[in-house]
Amino acid sequence: MKIIVKKGGPLTTLQDTGRYGFQKYGVLVSGAMDLFSLKLGNILVGNKESEGALEMTMSGPFLKLPAGLVFALTGADLGAKLGSKPVPLNRAVYVKQDSALSFGFAAKGARGYLTVAGGFAVPEVMNSKSTYLRAKIGGVGGAPLADGTELETGDLTAEQEKLAAALAGLGGKPFSTLGWSVGTESLFAGEPIRVTQGLQADWFSNATLHAFFRSGYTITAQSDRMGYRLSGTPLPYKDSSLEMISEPVTFGSIQVPADGNPIILMADRQTTGGYAKIGQVIQADLSRLAQMKPGQTIYFQPVTLTQAEEALARQADFLTDAAKMVKR
């Protein structure tokens, strides 16, 4: 099947779970900012969790979808409509007739995901379909979706054929969908972002650490897929003469440069960093962080490694339960 891009939108890229195994060569991981929503969307349409999807930032593209396509929208509510009919989030949708899919602006969250049954038939670059914009690799020509692009979808599995047939038999135009959806309200709960201790936490005084966890930090306009620059109570080193050799960083590493304003490294982060790391956002909270917009205020909460592992296990259980619901 073929999806035609009438308008590419402000920033729509193809992303999967990331490009691993090449950081030693300086190649970034990239991948979806909100991995939870990516995986959930793929589960809903019967794909592997790691399959590529369209990541839409703040708004989406204008697409012509073919009849017979099964897709799902997850993550931010971008006010999607198929024709003139609103499309529900977090459920599989079957297109009954060739229709235009349009989006408004994010009412809740910052990034939405469009997954399609069979995935997007684009070549992998270093084992990934993810777009790395600065290097212009992966995705669709290493760039955001452009007007006039044609996206081919992959072949369906036997299970996906059954899902499509079941959806096709339901009522509704221009699309049909199941009567249930998966609840993801926790993505937008506004609770503190949980953090484990950073490798250089001892570079900061107790008073500075206290300020870090008690003060709010605003996401500045100088934030993107590489990192969130924050503004708030400065976090000075105990000893201003301290210097460090660059070392590996990861998604959610919280670095503190000389000006004392922290930077949270995101999906397109560099492979190494030379600033002290005061903390590490736990993996289970990275998706909530990715759904926050410039101008929003972040509060941090310290947790132990055990608590971080338990939170990640609960998230994995949620996705497992969603997969079981789809197969019923």
> Do 156 and 46 lie in a common domain?
yes
68 and 146 housed in the same domain: yes
Longest CA–CA separation in the chain, Å? 69
Residue 328 lies in a domain: no
Same domain, 141 and 209: no
Give residue 312's Cα distance to chain centre. Answer: 16
Asked, for residue 325, whether it belongs to a domain, the answer is no
What's the helix, strand, coil split of the chain in %, to 5? Answer: 20, 30, 50
Spatial separation of the C-alpha atoms in residues 110 and 292, rounded to whole Å: 6
The two structure tokens encoding residue 308 = 């971080």
Q: Is 252 contained in some domain? A: yes
Q: Does one domain contain both 209 and 102?
A: no
Residue 43: in which H helix or E strand, if any?
Answer: helix 35-44
What is the number of structural domains in the chain?
Answer: 2
- Cα-Cα end-to-end distance for the chain: 26
Contact 12, 149 (CB under 8 A): no
Which tokens sit at 106?
């994010």
* Spatial distance between the Cα atoms of 144 and 305, rounded to a whole number of angstroms: 37
What pLDDT was estimated at residue 326? 84
| Residue 141, phi-psi category: left (phi > 0), alpha (psi -120 to 50), beta (remainder) | left
Q: How far is Cα 81 from Cα 99, in angstroms, rounded to an integer?
A: 10
The two structure tokens encoding residue 186: 């926790």
Domain final residue pick, 177, 204, 229: 177
Digit-coded pLDDT (tens) for 235-286: 999 998 888 899 999 999 999 998 999 999 999 999 999 999 999 999 999 9
Please, which residues bridge with residue 54 across strands? 14, 114
Q: Domain end: 119, 143, 177, which one? A: 177
Say if residue 251 is in the same domain as residue 147.
Answer: no
Per the structure, the complete domain to which residue 224 belongs is given by 189-319
pLDDT by residue for the chain (328 residues), tens digit each? 999 999 999 999 999 999 999 998 999 999 999 999 999 999 999 999 999 999 999 999 999 999 999 999 999 999 999 999 999 999 999 999 999 999 999 988 999 999 999 999 999 999 999 999 999 999 999 999 999 999 999 999 999 999 999 999 998 889 999 887 888 887 887 899 999 999 999 999 999 999 999 999 999 999 999 999 999 999 999 998 888 899 999 999 999 998 999 999 999 999 999 999 999 999 999 999 999 999 999 999 999 999 999 999 999 999 999 998 887 7
Q: What is the pLDDT of residue 38?
A: 98
Dump pLDDT digits (tens) for 272-296. 999 999 999 999 999 999 999 999 9
What does the pLDDT read at residue 160?
A: 95
Q: CATH number, domain at 201?
A: 2.40.100.10
Same domain assignment for residues 203 and 157: no
* Residue 320 confidence (pLDDT): 93
pLDDT of residue 282: 98
For residue 251, being part of any structural domain is answered with yes
26 and 132, same domain (yes or no): yes
Residue 25: inside a domain, yes or no?
yes
Give me 212's structure tokens. 């870090």
118 plus 6 within the same structural domain: yes
